[in-house]
């Protein structure tokens, strides 16, 4: 477990370093995620390995880790109340548009490239 | 008597007590989620935020003090974000013949959701910092927090927006996909994961394993796409 956590912290550190040195606008942990993904693919990393075990354990409780940030919302309750309409409409509207664009683009390209479909219900 | 009350309050406002309230609230949330049979509305993180929010309001603890006391918990957000590579790696086998449609769809979807969130909120008269906050809501919560922070938005609000939109996707996702006549399982998973990240993915996983795997994949790829696209699009949007 500690071996896996050490790897994760090391990749986060590497990600922070790359993001800082290359002056990327992307957060360090996201760069770390990408580097770790490449590492796991290249090594054909085993499912029983320490990184997979530690990573899965952390991800099971991912929600706990953003509580301290989320609680900050109590400071902004007034703002949310005042701006409820733009917040609500922008959230739901852009959710619907994003969902439709991703779904339709994927289906259309699959058809265009002549790939077999994989429909729900399993008759494809 | 009032001495006793003062000592009790002192302990109740200590970092240890605030950590205990946070962990206890999270356990309560997990218990409620199990009791409700895993209902999409019962997210442990929301229960915890309500419990902690009430507790620090009643105890009269300032948010920055709470944030410092729980640094121990918030620290793990970074390594956990890195760990998102693990499910991505495990699902990579599902990808054959779907890589191009998937990447194009993810980039198109991330662009759509960023631009439309900013323009819709601007049209309805939201302020600049609110626009910057809403831009990132389709990303998984840790990434939404980090990207919003870098962009100059309100990070705690971005966290709550991301969680809320995840819940919307978990409740309404499959139904809306039927309305949109999207029946391909890979495309369905991809769409929900792209706009409702992990919370949406957990719902899709209960519906169908392929949908769930692609939703997880879409969550990781969208997080990347959004963190790259937001700073780029910001040049034109703000």
Q: How far apart are CA B116 and CA B98, in angstroms?
A: 26
End-to-end CA distance of chain B: 58
What residues make up the domain containing A83?
Answer: 72-124
| Residue finishing a domain among A19, A50, A65 | A65
Q: Are residues A33 and A13 in the same domain?
A: yes
In this prediction, residues A91-109 reach a mean pLDDT of: 96
Burial category of B57 from C-beta neighbours within 10 Å (exposed 0-12, middle 13-18, buried 19 and up): exposed
Q: Are residues A8 and A56 in the same domain?
A: yes
Q: Are residues A77 and A44 in the same domain?
A: no
| Residue finishing a domain among A50, A65, A80 | A65
Q: Are residues A51 and A81 in the same domain?
A: no
- Quick one: pLDDT at residue B75? 94
Q: Are residues A60 and A76 in the same domain?
A: no
Neighbours of B196 (CB within 10 A): 34
Chain A nearest-CA distance from B2, in A, is: 29
Q: Are residues A83 and A61 in the same domain?
A: no
Could you give the ipTM of this predicted complex? 0.86
Q: Are residues A9 and A40 in the same domain?
A: yes
- Quick one: pLDDT at residue B191? 97
Structure confidence at residue A121 as a pLDDT band (50, 70, 90): low
Residues of B in contact with A9 (CB under 8 A): 78-79
- Kindly tell me if the per-residue pLDDT of A123 is higher than 50: no
Tell me the pLDDT of chain A averaged across its residues: 89
Burial category of B109 from C-beta neighbours within 10 Å (exposed 0-12, middle 13-18, buried 19 and up): buried
Chain A nearest-CA distance from B183, in A, is: 5
Q: Find where tokens 């963190």 sit.
A: B227
Q: Are residues A6 and A41 in the same domain?
A: yes
Tell which of B23, B83, B165, B219 to mutate to test the A interface (max A CBs under 10 Å).
B83
Tens of pLDDT along chain B (238 residues) come to 678 999 999 999 999 999 999 999 999 999 999 999 878 778 888 899 999 999 999 999 999 999 999 999 999 989 998 998 888 788 777 777 788 999 999 999 999 999 999 999 999 988 899 999 999 989 988 899 989 998 999 999 999 899 889 889 988 999 999 999 999 999 999 999 999 988 888 888 778 878 888 898 898 889 989 999 999 999 999 8
| Residue finishing a domain among A48, A65, A82 | A65
Q: Are residues A1 and A30 in the same domain?
A: yes
Residues of A in contact with B163 (CB under 8 A): 66, 70
- Number of domains present in the structure of chain A: 2
Q: Are residues A78 and A120 in the same domain?
A: yes
Q: Are residues A48 and A92 in the same domain?
A: no
Q: Are residues A104 and A79 in the same domain?
A: yes
Convert B73-93 to b/e letters by CB count within 10 Å (16 or more is b): bbebbbbbbbbbbbbbbbbee
Structure confidence at residue A124 as a pLDDT band (50, 70, 90): very low
Nearest CA in chain B to A78: B157
Task: Judge whether B33 is closer than 8 Å to chain A, CB to CB.
Answer: no
Q: Do B86 and A106 touch (CB under 8 A)?
A: no
């Amino acid at each position: 477990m500690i071996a896996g956590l050490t790897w994760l912290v090391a990749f986060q550190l590497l990600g922070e370093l790359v993001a800082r040195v290359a002056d990327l606008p992307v957060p360090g942990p996201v760069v770390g995620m990408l580097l770790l993904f490449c590492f796991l693919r290249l090594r054909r990393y085993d499912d029983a390995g320490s990184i997979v075990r530690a990573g899965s354990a952390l991800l099971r409780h991912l929600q706990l880790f953003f509580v301290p940030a989320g609680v900050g919302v109590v400071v902004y309750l007034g703002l949310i109340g005042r701006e409820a309409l733009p917040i609500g409409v922008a959230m739901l509207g852009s959710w619907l548009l994003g969902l439709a664009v991703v779904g339709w683009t994927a289906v259309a390209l699959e058809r265009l490239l002549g790939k077999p479909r994989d429909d729900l219900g399993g008759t494809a | 008597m009032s001495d006793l009350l003062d000592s009790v309050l002192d302990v109740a406002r200590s970092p240890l007590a605030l950590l205990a309230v946070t962990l206890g609230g999270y356990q309560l949330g997990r218990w409620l989620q199990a009791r409700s049979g895993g209902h999409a509305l019962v997210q442990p993180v929301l229960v915890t935020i309500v419990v902690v929010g009430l507790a620090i309001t009643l105890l009269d603890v300032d948010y920055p003090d709470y944030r410092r006391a729980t640094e121990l918990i918030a620290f793990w957000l970074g390594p956990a974000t890195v760990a998102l590579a693990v499910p991505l790696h495990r699902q990579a086998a599902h990808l054959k013949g779907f890589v191009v449609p998937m990447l194009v769809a993810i980039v198109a979807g991330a662009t759509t959701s960023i631009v439309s969130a900013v323009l819709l909120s601007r049209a309805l008269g939201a302020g600049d910092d609110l626009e910057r906050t809403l831009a990132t809501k389709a990303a998984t919560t840790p990434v939404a927090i980090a990207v919003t922070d870098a962009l100059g938005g309100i990070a705690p609000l971005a966290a709550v927006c991301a969680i809320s939109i995840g819940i919307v996707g978990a409740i309404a996702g499959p139904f809306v996909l039927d309305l949109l006549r999207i029946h391909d399982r890979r495309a369905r998973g991809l769409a929900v994961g792209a706009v409702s990240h992990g919370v949406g993915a957990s719902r899709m996983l209960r519906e169908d394993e392929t949908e769930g795997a692609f939703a997880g994949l879409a969550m990781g790829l969208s997080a990347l796409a959004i963190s790259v696209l937001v700073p780029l699009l910001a040049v034109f949007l703000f």
